[in-house]
């Protein structure tokens, strides 16, 4: 195929691609995003290719390597079509069996399909797995069908037709009206209505305008943007071209976090293809519209995800935020009007134009439309990316999709919104997930990270973790954020070390207010949220750290001790050998003892003590005090 | 160095790209490299230092033969990453961000690699290790020739 010079040529191309496909042909789809590759998908791909070659099946079976399918925990996995048999957590040596039974024959290797932990029910097809049942995968479903390095797969799924329609049948105002009617709000955290944002930028008079795709994805624990860029880069690019047409921009930038090398690779390749086929560059699809996109790699700074910092970073400067107004829409990149949107926001644009704003607006709640992709991670049974309609409850996400808490532990909290968000307790699990409800609960929807915490997670430690994070990532430009977060970390450190004082809690609340109101950018303005929400919902945990020197989750090193139960210890030497600081003494078949002065509380002894013996334990509070007292008593 | 600079326009917007290239090529950005970049872009060395030190991607000193990166993102944190960092630090005898005196290991942390589902994650020289429970075996694996 050559450059596409007219929407009709695009339609012809699509039909040609479809005509070459034989629906009955066997197909193996292998998921190979970053999680897949990290779990060994590349070896599975090799094994599949080798086995097919060995059996002389190379020409009879199509092998498609795709991006992430969402259920990352079951990587590496593959699906056999047309039967849609989903094989999970594979080893290369599983492949010959699969080829033998499911490719040459029409059987299922039942030991390799999904089995529900609780009900022991097997699921053959991916969509029969409970994890997928309540999802509405509008953006992520295509990851299954697309080899992200081949533009033809995107074209076959009506790719770039929304763009063709916009360029030839719609004015820029009409495109914006469609996005407004759909009710699309920014997926990068703020939730600002995207159509309105575009309109503001469109109206500013300037012969140069820019658009930016924010793929810095700094929220630790969130990775939906990575999955979209890796698995379906053209959907984001198409969204950007449509946005550029609506706004009147000539140049765009995709700013990708440097921790995502595979996404960078796939986006670069997709940009090249888009140029080659005339979706970028001069006279796009034969129209008068011209637009170009550049990829910029980040350099490892959380604050560069904030839009004004991001702009500074693209200009080759330190990622310092600047005072708004002026907003980027007025004075952005190199002083020109600039529209910044998140990856997932852009990916929604072609979908809306293709299916219509009215269709889109039916999904979700009154003020939050469409779906949102969340990364469901932490102490949950089913971890991965889930795409759900807005308005679904947290409980449905955690229990129906996520399958509940790992190891039958008790749910404690769900953290949303990353370092700007908060921890939501069990009492609030029935809240519907949308921008406004989560904000009312003291957290934010943010970019979509959902970290599940169980009874073994200490909420004071979590608050300390986030404040430590924001303090390190504070760019240092404004005082409330720079000094305030440092003071909060100091107090939290003190509490987790067992030296907290009763006034500390109030002090933290006061400090938090100062930081929130006095900071220059969103980083500081939201940094205290993890402290405030944990204080609100888990105040008792703080109090027990301070008053009774107890960390019930047994996490805070200053408040725990390891001890060996003399009645249970059989003197097997395992813990003694594993101790990195030689703090354990004893002889074979004699009770071992931990020297509390030497112990660094690394937990190695607890790990190696055989479950049958179970002699090592962690203690806190009064029990710990007693052990320390006994230990020092012996020394005297 | 000259060959690298030839690839880039003489505009400040190229600065971060150039630093990435130099870091990739040499493993760090040396003072002579900084002077050369300053000349090429016609900006002050001070400006380059300020950008260089702002971003975590760049280092001013040579790094070790093996780069061990422990993810400290939230998902990995709740699954036990802090202990991995402590253990790695103790085993290597260096703090996070430092390189062992024999230049064999550099210990680094990162705030999420986007594969939280298989955490805690440790990356050594670009290779991902998932569900990591202990650091000693990983360190041993890369200790050859030490
Ligand atoms: C400290 C900070 C970090 C941010 N990081 C990101 C990020 O990683 N990705 C993102 O899309 N937006 C991030 N944002 C939000 C952006 O400033 C901006 O609002 C967003 O990219 C706009 O896109 P949207 O309207 O499509 O959501 C961040 C904001 C702050 C204050
Ligand atoms: S938190 Fe470690 S990979 Fe995301």
For residue A201, the ligand closest to its alpha carbon is 1
For residue A418, the ligand closest to its alpha carbon is 1
Q: Whose CA is nearest to atom 5 of ligand 1?
A: A305
- pLDDT tens readout for residues A499-539: 999 999 999 999 999 999 999 999 999 999 999 999 999 99
Shared domain check, B33 and B6: yes
Q: Cβ separation of B116 and A379 shorter than 8 Å?
A: no
Q: Residues with beta carbon inside 6 Å of ligand 1?
A: A 186-190, 192, 194, 214, 216-218, 303, 305-307, 340-342, 345, 447, 521-523
Shared domain check, A452 and A306: no
Report CA(A48)–ligand 2 centroid distance (Å). 29
Using the predicted structure, report yes or no on whether residue A335 has a pLDDT greater than 70. Answer: yes
In a domain, A280, yes or no: yes
Using the predicted structure, report yes or no on whether residue A334 has a pLDDT greater than 90. Answer: yes
Count of the separate structural domains present in chain A:
5
What domain range is B70 assigned to? 66-143
**Nearest chain A Cα distance for residue B38, angstroms:** 13
In a domain, A260, yes or no: yes
Model pLDDT, residue A24: 80
- pLDDT tens readout for residues A596-625: 999 999 999 999 999 999 999 999 999 999
Shared domain check, B44 and B70: no
Shared domain check, B77 and B44: no
Q: Is A293 on the interface with B (CB under 8 A)?
A: no
- CB nearest to A318's CB, from B14, B51, B74: B51
For residue A591, what is the domain's CATH number? 3.30.70.20
For residue B70, what is the domain's CATH number? 3.40.30.10
Residue labelled with tokens 């059987």: A107
Q: Is A538 on the interface with B (CB under 8 A)?
A: no
Count of the separate structural domains present in chain B:
2
Cis amide prior to A325 (ω within 30 degrees):
yes
pLDDT band at B146; cut points 50, 70, 90: confident
**Nearest chain A Cα distance for residue B51, angstroms:** 5
Using the predicted structure, report yes or no on whether residue A468 has a pLDDT greater than 90. Answer: yes
Model pLDDT, residue A384: 95
Using the predicted structure, report yes or no on whether residue B25 has a pLDDT greater than 90. Answer: yes
What domain range is A57 assigned to? 24-81+85-124
Using the predicted structure, report yes or no on whether residue A636 has a pLDDT greater than 80. Answer: no
- pLDDT tens readout for residues A25-82: 899 999 999 999 999 999 999 999 999 999 999 999 999 999 999 999 999 999 999 9
CB atoms within 10 A of CB B98: 17
In a domain, A451, yes or no: yes
**Nearest chain B Cα distance for residue A376, angstroms:** 8
Rounded mean pLDDT, B19-23: 96
- CB nearest to B118's CB, from A72, A300, A602: A72
Q: In what order do the strands lie in the sheet with A384-389?
A: A384-389, A371-378, A449-454, A411-416, A422-425
Instruction: For A466, name the nearest residue in chain B, comparing CA atoms only.
Output: B74
- pLDDT tens readout for residues A400-451: 999 999 999 999 999 999 999 999 999 999 999 999 999 999 889 999 999 9
Using the predicted structure, report yes or no on whether residue A22 has a pLDDT greater than 90. Answer: no
pLDDT band at A635; cut points 50, 70, 90: low
φ, ψ of residue A476 to 5 degrees: the values are 90, 5
In a domain, B42, yes or no: yes
Chain B contact set for A223 (CB, 8 A): 112, 114-116
Model pLDDT, residue A490: 98
Mean pLDDT rounded to a whole number for chain B: 94
Q: Cβ separation of A221 and B73 shorter than 8 Å?
A: yes
Domain boundary among A408, A437, A457: A457
Shared domain check, B124 and B76: yes
Using the predicted structure, report yes or no on whether residue B115 has a pLDDT greater than 70. Answer: yes
Does residue B16 have its Cβ closer than 6 Å to ligand 2?
no
Shared domain check, B100 and B33: no
Model pLDDT, residue A630: 86
Residue A394 to residue A234: CA distance in whole angstroms? 31
What radius of gyration do chain B's Cα atoms show? 17
Read off the DSSP letter of residue A284: G
- CB nearest to A315's CB, from B12, B54, B110: B12
Q: Which residues pair with A86 in a beta bridge?
A: A79
Shared domain check, B12 and B79: no
- List the structure tokens of A499: 């030296």
Q: Where are the beta strands (DSSP E) in A355-399?
A: 371-378, 384-389
Helix/strand/coil percentages in chain B, nearest 5? 45, 15, 40
Q: Is A315 on the interface with B (CB under 8 A)?
A: yes
In a domain, B61, yes or no: no
Shared domain check, B37 and B82: no
Q: Are the C-beta atoms of residues B74 and A451 closer than 8 Å to each other?
A: yes
- List the structure tokens of A176: 């914006």
Shared domain check, A417 and A331: no
Q: Whose CA is nearest to atom 8 of ligand 1?
A: A217
State how far Cα B71 lies from the chain centre.
12
How would you write A239-265 as a 3-class SS string?
Answer: HHHHHHHHHCCCEEEEEECCCCHHHHH
Q: Cβ separation of B117 and A384 shorter than 8 Å?
A: yes
Shared domain check, B119 and B81: yes
Residue B46 to residue B49: CA distance in whole angstroms? 5
- The phi-psi region of residue A582 (left if phi > 0; otherwise alpha if psi is between -120 and 50; otherwise beta) is left
Does residue B122 have its Cβ closer than 6 Å to ligand 2?
no
CB pairs below 8 Å between A and B: how many? Answer: 141
pLDDT band at A633; cut points 50, 70, 90: confident
In a domain, A145, yes or no: no
What is the full DSSP assignment across B31-97? HHHHHHHHHHHT--HHHHHHHHHHSTT--SS---SEEEEEE-SHHHHHTTHHHHHHHHHHHHT--TT
Read off the DSSP letter of residue A613: T
Residue A348 to residue A360: CA distance in whole angstroms? 10
Measured CA distances, A239 to A40, A246, B25 (Å): 32, 11, 35
Rounded mean pLDDT, A257-269: 96
Shared domain check, B139 and B70: yes
Read off the DSSP letter of residue A457: S
Shared domain check, A202 and A306: yes
- pLDDT tens readout for residues A490-509: 999 999 999 999 999 999 99
Shared domain check, A54 and A198: no
Read off the DSSP letter of residue A113: B
Measured CA distances, A381 to A398, A404, A453, A455, A467 (Å): 9, 6, 12, 15, 27
A-proximal residues of B, 8-27, CB under 8 Å: 11-17, 19-20
Mean pLDDT rounded to a whole number for chain A: 95
Shared domain check, A478 and A383: no
Rounded mean pLDDT, B22-39: 96
| Total-model pTM | 0.95
Report CA(A440)–ligand 1 centroid distance (Å). 20
In a domain, A301, yes or no: yes
Q: Which residues pair with A411 in a beta bridge?
A: A454
Shared domain check, B37 and B93: no
- The residue among A438, A599, A622 whose CA lies nearest residue A533 is A438
Shared domain check, A471 and A329: no
Residue B10 to residue A54: CA distance in whole angstroms? 54
Report the percentage of chain A scoring pLDDT > 70.
99
Q: Find the distance separating the first CA and the last CA of chain A, reported in whole Å.
A: 87
- pLDDT tens readout for residues A566-576: 999 999 999 99
In a domain, A14, yes or no: no
**Nearest chain A Cα distance for residue B59, angstroms:** 11
Report the percentage of chain B scoring pLDDT > 90.
93
Using the predicted structure, report yes or no on whether residue A264 has a pLDDT greater than 60. Answer: yes
Shared domain check, A441 and A342: no
In a domain, B59, yes or no: no
- pLDDT tens readout for residues A372-402: 999 999 999 999 999 999 999 999 999 999 9
Shared domain check, B134 and B85: yes
Does residue B64 have its Cβ closer than 6 Å to ligand 2?
no
In a domain, B60, yes or no: no
Residue B39 to residue B15: CA distance in whole angstroms? 12
- Top mutation candidate among A179, A180, A189, A310 for ligand 1, by most atoms within 8 Å of CB: A189
Strand A584-585 relative to strand A560-564: parallel, antiparallel, unpaired?
Answer: unpaired
Q: Are the C-beta atoms of residues A87 and A101 closer than 8 Å to each other?
A: no
Residue B127 to residue B18: CA distance in whole angstroms? 25
Contacts with A335 (C-beta within 8 Å, 6 or more apart), sequence order: none
In a domain, A335, yes or no: yes
In a domain, B99, yes or no: yes
How many residues appear in chain B? 146
- Top mutation candidate among B76, B79, B82 for ligand 2, by most atoms within 8 Å of CB: B76
In a domain, A7, yes or no: no
Strand A616-620 relative to strand A560-564: parallel, antiparallel, unpaired?
Answer: antiparallel
Residue A208 to residue A192: CA distance in whole angstroms? 24
Model pLDDT, residue A218: 92
């Amino acid at each position: 195929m050559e450059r596409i010079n007219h929407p009709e040529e695009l339609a012809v191309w699509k039909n040609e691609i479809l005509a070459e496909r034989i629906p009955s042909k066997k197909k193996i789809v292998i998921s190979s995003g970053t999680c897949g590759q990290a779990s060994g998908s590349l070896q599975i791909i090799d094994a599949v290719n080798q086995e097919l070659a060995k059996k002389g099946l190379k020409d009879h079976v199509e092998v498609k390597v795709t991006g992430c399918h969402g259920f990352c925990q079951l990587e590496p996995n593959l699906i056999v079509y047309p039967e849609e048999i989903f094989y999970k957590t594979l080893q290369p040596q599983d492949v010959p069996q699969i080829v033998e039974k499911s490719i040459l024959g029409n059987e299922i290797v039942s030991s390799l399909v999904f089995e529900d932990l609780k009900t022991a029910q097997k699921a053959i097809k991916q969509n029969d797995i409970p994890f997928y049942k309540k999802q509405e995968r509008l953006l992520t479903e295509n990851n299954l069908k697309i080899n992200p390095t081949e533009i033809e797969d995107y074209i076959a799924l009506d790719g770039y037709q929304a763009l063709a329609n916009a360029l030839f049948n719609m004015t820029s105002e009409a495109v914006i009206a469609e996005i407004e009617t759909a009710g699309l709000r920014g997926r990068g955290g703020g939730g600002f209505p995207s159509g309105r944002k575009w309109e503001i930028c469109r109206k500013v008079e300037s012969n140069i305008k820019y658009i930016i795709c924010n793929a810095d994805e700094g929220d630790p624990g969130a990775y939906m943007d990575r999955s979209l860029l890796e698995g379906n880069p053209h959907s984001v690019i198409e969204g950007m071209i449509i946005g550029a047409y609506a706004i009147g921009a000539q140049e765009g930038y995709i700013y990708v976090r440097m921790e995502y090398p595979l996404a960078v690779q796939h986006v670069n390749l997709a940009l090249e293809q888009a140029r080659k086929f005339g979706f970028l560059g001069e006279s796009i699809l034969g129209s008068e519209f011209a637009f170009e996109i550049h990829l910029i790699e980040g350099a490892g700074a959380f604050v560069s995800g904030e839009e004004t910092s991001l702009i500074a970073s693209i200009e080759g400067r330190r990622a310092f935020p600047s005072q708004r107004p002026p907003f980027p829409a007025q004075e952005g990149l190199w002083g020109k009007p600039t529209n910044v949107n998140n990856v997932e926001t852009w990916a929604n644009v072609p979908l809306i134009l293709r299916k219509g704003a009215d269709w889109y607006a039916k999904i979700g709640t009154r003020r939050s439309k469409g779906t949102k992709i969340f990364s469901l991670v932490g102490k949950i049974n089913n971890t991965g990316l889930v795409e759900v309609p807005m308005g679904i409850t947290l409980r449905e996400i955690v229990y129906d999709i996520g399958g509940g808490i790992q190891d039958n532990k008790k749910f404690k909290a769900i953290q949303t919104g990353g370092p700007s968000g908060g921890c939501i307790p069990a009492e609030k699990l029935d809240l519907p997930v949308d921008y406004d409800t989560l904000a009312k609960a003291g957290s934010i929807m943010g970019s979509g990270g959902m970290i599940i915490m169980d009874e073994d997670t200490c909420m004071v430690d979590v608050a300390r973790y986030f404040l430590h994070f924001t303090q390190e990532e504070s760019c240092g430009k404004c005082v409330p954020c720079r000094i305030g977060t440092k003071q909060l970390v100091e107090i939290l450190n003190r509490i987790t070390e067992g030296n907290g004082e009763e006034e500390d809690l109030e002090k933290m609340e006061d400090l938090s207010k100062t930081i929130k109101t006095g900071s220059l950018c969103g980083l500081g303005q939201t940094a205290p949220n993890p402290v405030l929400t944990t204080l609100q919902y888990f105040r008792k945990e703080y109090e027990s750290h301070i008053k009774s020197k107890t960390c019930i989750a047994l996490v805070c090193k200053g408040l725990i001790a390891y001890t060996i139960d003399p009645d249970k210890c059989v003197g097997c030497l395992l813990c003694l050998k594993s101790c990195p600081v030689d703090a354990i003494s004893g002889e074979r078949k004699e009770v071992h003892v931990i020297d509390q002065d030497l112990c660094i509380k690394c937990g190695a002894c607890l790990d190696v003590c055989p479950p049958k013996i179970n002699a090592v334990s962690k203690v806190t509070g009064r029990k710990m005090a007693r052990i320390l007292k006994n230990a020092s008593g012996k020394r005297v | 160095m000259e060959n690298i600079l030839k690839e880039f326009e003489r505009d400040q917007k190229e600065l971060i790209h150039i630093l990435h290239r130099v870091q990739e090529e040499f493993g760090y950005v040396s003072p002579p490299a900084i002077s050369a970049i300053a000349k090429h872009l016609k900006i002050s060395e001070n400006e380059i230092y300020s950008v260089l030190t702002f971003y975590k991607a760049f280092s001013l000193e040579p790094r070790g033969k093996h780069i061990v990166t422990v993810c400290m993102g939230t998902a990995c944190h709740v699954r036990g990453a802090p202990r991995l960092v402590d253990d790695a630090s103790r085993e290597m005898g260096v703090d996070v961000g430092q390189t062992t005196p024999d230049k064999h290991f550099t210990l680094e942390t990162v705030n999420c690699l986007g594969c939280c589902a298989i955490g805690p994650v440790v990356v050594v020289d670009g290779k991902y290790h998932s569900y990591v429970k202990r650091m000693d075996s990983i360190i041993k694996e890369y200790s050859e020739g030490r």
